[in-house]
């Protein structure tokens, strides 16, 4: 029995040692520090263009307050309010009977004047023959000569009056002077209108629209320096979005810069032009505008939610090789495609905390959950955005006039 007892004792000792070892391992694992779970993502490094933001209002290149050229009573309103009209379309008809009667009267008067002129020429010719035979005096011949000139003048005067009467008869048909969208009719049938005074309706052109906005003189000087460095082109591409739009889907270009700075505001009035083939833009709309401030360059983009605020500083938390976070002050730029440009503080290979920024402090150990800084659609949009900018810049360079000799 002794050998069996010794063997049992050894077996139980081994089991006891194994249990103690396992318990110690569990205790060590439980006491080991665990990282704070946060979402992290690598920064986006790609080619971007810096933009300056402005606001403005859309205006029609052509706007007409339509007034009649003749006075009279409105017979007919010939358009649908709010519709698109072509240049020359009839909009109002004014009672033209008095104008037709005046034309008829002057046509008869002209015929009479021409008849009198013909008779005056015949009298003059007879007087010339009689004068040669000394049958009439020089005074009679002079009178006949004067009669011819008076008859000619009377014909010319009557012709001019007839032309004016025909114009007035035509002006009784009020036509659209421009193509565009017509407003409501301010005057309806049966009402009297006065020439040059009564506003019948208004028309605004809509094929293209202007966006007027003001830039401060510092920004303008920066643009001028960029022009000299060939960082920008004369026909700057401009992106625009409306109040209910999240993306800058409308593209145009600068086509006018005022000739002086406003001394009261310190700003310069600038105008961009946009195509409006689908009619989606309307004069008076509020517009957000972005103007390319320079040439494209390699930049860093991060999500807005990854940025923290420390007093007056902006910062991010960078993840190091030990899964600890480091405080990194950054200098921010404008937004592009919903992401924020970072001018300094980050490099292209950095990974930063995106979600959970408030749960960790610099130096803290984290349990990183890797995600992307932006979704696929946003990244594709950024690439399309830059391609569009490059395309607009290239077109602008081709269409820009050559610099005069001595200024290149």
Return the bridge partners of 370, or none: 40
CATH code of domain 67-92+175-200 = 2.40.50.100
C-alpha to C-alpha distance for 384 and 382, rounded to whole angstroms: 5
Distance CA 162, CA 100 (A): 11
According to the model, what pLDDT value does residue 288 have? 95
Separation in Å, CA 283 to CA 7, 94, 246, 277, 373: 101, 30, 20, 14, 38
**What are the distances in angstroms from CA 82 to CA 39, 64, 204, 276, 280?**
54, 14, 11, 17, 14
Evaluate whether 371 touches 356 at the Cβ level (below 8 Å): no
Tokens encoding 45: 């490094």
What pLDDT does residue 405 have? 40
The kind and range of the H/E element at 185 are none
Give the Å distances, CA to CA, from 357 to 323, 334, 345, 351: 14, 22, 17, 13
- pLDDT at res. 138: 80
pLDDT confidence of residue 204? 97
Give me 309's structure tokens: 């605020």
In this predicted structure, what is the pLDDT of residue 101?
97
**Assigned CATH topology for domain 34-49+297-400:** 2.40.420
Distance CA 326, CA 264 (A): 48
Domain ranges of the chain: 34-49+297-400, 50-61+205-295, 67-92+175-200, 96-171
- pLDDT of the chain along its 408 residues, tens only? 445 455 555 555 555 565 555 455 444 444 445 789 999 999 999 888 878 889 999 999 999 999 999 999 999 999 999 999 999 999 999 999 999 999 999 999 999 989 888 888 887 777 676 767 777 678 776 777 787 888 889 899 999 999 999 999 999 999 999 999 999 999 999 999 999 999 999 999 999 999 999 999 988 888 887 666 555 545 568 889 999 998 888 989 888 999 999 999 999 999 999 999 988 999 999 999 988 776 778 899 999 999 999 888 899 999 999 999 999 999 998 887 778 999 999 999 999 999 988 899 999 999 999 999 988 887 887 787 777 777 766 665 665 544 334 333
* CATH architecture group of domain 50-61+205-295: Beta Barrel (2.40)
Instruction: Indicate if the alpha-carbon torsion angle 312, 316, 320, 323 is positive or negative.
Output: positive
The beta-strand segments (E) located in 173-224 are 173-175, 180-182, 192-193, 201-204, 208-216
CA–CA distance, 295 with 50 (Å, rounded to integer): 8
In this structure, are residues 99 and 130 in contact, taking their beta carbons and an 8 Å threshold?
no
Query: pTM (2 decimals)?
Result: 0.69
Q: Considering only CA atoms, which of 293, 295, 353, 356 is closest in space to residue 327?
A: 353
The values of phi and psi at residue 284, to 5°, are 100, -15
Per-residue model confidence (pLDDT) at position 223: 81
- According to DSSP, the residues that pair with 193 across neighbouring strands are 72
CATH class as words, domain 96-171: mainly alpha
Would you tell me the crossing angle of helices 138-171 and 97-132 to the nearest 10 degrees?
Answer: 160
């Amino acid at each position: 029995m002794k050998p069996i007892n010794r063997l049992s004792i050894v077996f139980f000792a081994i089991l006891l040692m194994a249990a103690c070892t396992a318990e110690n391992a569990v205790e060590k694992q439980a006491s080991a520090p665990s990282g704070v779970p946060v979402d992290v993502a690598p920064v986006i490094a790609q080619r971007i263009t810096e933009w300056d933001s402005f606001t403005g209002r859309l205006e029609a290149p052509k706007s007409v307050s339509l007034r009649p050229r003749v006075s009279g009573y409105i017979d007919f309103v010939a358009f649908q309010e709010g519709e698109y009209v072509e240049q020359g379309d009839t909009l109002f008809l004014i009672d033209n009977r008095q104008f037709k009667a005046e034309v008829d009267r002057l046509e008869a008067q002209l015929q009479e004047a021409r008849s009198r002129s013909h008779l005056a020429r015949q009298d003059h010719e007879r007087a010339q023959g009689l004068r040669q035979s000394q049958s009439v005096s020089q005074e009679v011949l002079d009178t006949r000569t004067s009669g011819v000139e008076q008859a000619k003048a009377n014909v010319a005067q009557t012709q001019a009056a007839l032309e004016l009467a025909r114009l007035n008869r035509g002006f009784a048909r009020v036509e659209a002077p421009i193509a565009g969208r017509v407003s409501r009719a301010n005057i309806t049938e049966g009402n009297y209108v006065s020439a040059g005074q009564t506003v019948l309706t208004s028309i605004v052109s809509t094929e293209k629209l202007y966006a007027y906005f003001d830039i401060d003189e510092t920004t303008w000087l920066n643009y001028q320096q960029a022009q000299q460095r060939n960082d920008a082109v004369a026909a700057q591409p401009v992106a625009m979005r409306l109040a209910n739009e999240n993306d800058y889907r409308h593209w145009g270009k600068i086509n006018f810069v005022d000739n002086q700075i406003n001394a009261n505001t310190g700003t310069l009035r600038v105008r961009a032009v946009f195509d409006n083939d689908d009619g989606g833009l309307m004069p008076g709309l509020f517009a957000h505008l972005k103007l390319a401030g320079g040439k494209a360059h390699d930049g860093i983009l991060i999500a807005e939610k990854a940025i923290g605020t420390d007093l007056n500083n902006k910062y991010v938390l960078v993840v190091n090789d030990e899964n600890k976070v480091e405080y990194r002050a950054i200098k921010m730029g404008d937004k592009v495609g919903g992401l924020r440009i970072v001018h300094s503080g980050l490099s292209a290979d950095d990974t930063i905390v995106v979600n959970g920024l408030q749960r960790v402090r610099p130096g803290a150990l984290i349990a990183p959950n890797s995600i992307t800084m932006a979704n696929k659609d946003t990244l594709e949009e950024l690439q399309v955005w830059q391609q569009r900018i490059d395309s607009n810049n290239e077109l602008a360079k081709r269409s820009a006039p050559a610099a005069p000799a001595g200024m290149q």
